[in-house]
Amino acid sequence: MENMELGTAFTVVLEKGETFWISYCPEIPGANGQGITKEESVEDLKQAILFILQDRREEGMRGVPPDAICEKLSFA
């Protein structure tokens, strides 16, 4: 496996449109943001990432048996 930089940081790609800045995160499909300023676009993207990750966690936990062990995995 290739050496990958992992952690709590994600890549933000910003593009300037005619009126708005758009942003997206290549690591999380569907995570997009927009705003009049770059900062607004990035903040919108942060909220999208949090929403997507929370939704995926809830969806993924639906089928977990009650006696399963759940732990946090951290890349530091």
> pLDDT digits over 46-63, tens only?
999 999 999 999 999 999
Give pLDDT, residue 1. 42
Delineate the domains of the chain, giving CATH numbers in brackets. 1-54 (3.30.160.250)
Of 38, 32, 34, nearest to 10 (Cα)? 32
The whole model's pTM is what?
A: 0.81
DSSP 5-65: --SS----EEEE-SS-EEEE-TTSTT-EEEESSHHHHHHHHHHHHHHHHHHHHHHHHTT--
Mean pLDDT, range 2-17, rounded to an integer: 78
Q: Is the pLDDT of residue 70 over 60?
A: yes
Contact yes or no for 20/44 (Cβ under 8 A): no
Give pLDDT, residue 74. 79
